[in-house]
């Protein structure tokens, strides 16, 4: 039953992300901010908020562990993976691990960006080679 919840949540989260992207970017298409990835920012911020919200409710016994997994891993995992990064950063800060939190945030942003550049470079080389 848990796997079904994750699958259903994932499907709904993916649809929510797709719809948000189409609506927001479509609305920005003709404006000055057409190139800004506002939809991604919105789903990341909303997902971060919702993951923290559902986790806190779960820690207080207000949401079942199964519902937390279906919503957190399924729906929010498909909506955004950034929410987990944000929550983990917050947990490090809450534990007083400020240096670790800072390193974690910077590493995710910098290494993630480098991975984007590397993935693009590899893809371009494969395309050029074929």
Question: Where are the domains positioned within the chain?
Answer: 2-95, 98-130
What was the pLDDT predicted at 26? 86
Place of tokens 């404006």: 31
The 10s digit of each residue's pLDDT in 59-71 is 889 999 999 999 9
Q: What is the pLDDT of residues 18-61, one digit of tens each?
A: 999 899 988 888 777 777 778 888 898 899 899 999 998 998 89
Chain-centroid distance of CA 112 in Å reads 13
When the pLDDT of each residue in the chain is averaged and rounded to a whole number, the result is 90
- Radius of gyration over every alpha carbon of the chain, rounded to an integer in angstroms: 18
């Amino acid at each position: 039953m848990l796997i079904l919840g994750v699958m259903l949540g994932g499907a709904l989260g993916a649809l929510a992300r797709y719809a948000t992207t189409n609506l927001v970017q479509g609305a920005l298409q003709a404006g000055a901010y057409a190139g800004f990835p506002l939809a991604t920012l919105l789903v990341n911020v909303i997902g971060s908020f919702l993951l923290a919200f559902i986790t806190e409710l779960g820690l207080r016994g207000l949401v079942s562990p199964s519902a937390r997994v279906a919503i957190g891993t399924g729906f929010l995992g498909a909506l955004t993976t950034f929410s987990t990064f944000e929550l983990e950063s917050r947990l490090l800060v809450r534990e007083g691990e400020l240096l670790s939190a800072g390193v974690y945030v910077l590493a995710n942003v910098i290494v993630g960006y480098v991975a984007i550049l590397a993935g693009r470079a590899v893809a371009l080389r494969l395309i050029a080679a074929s």
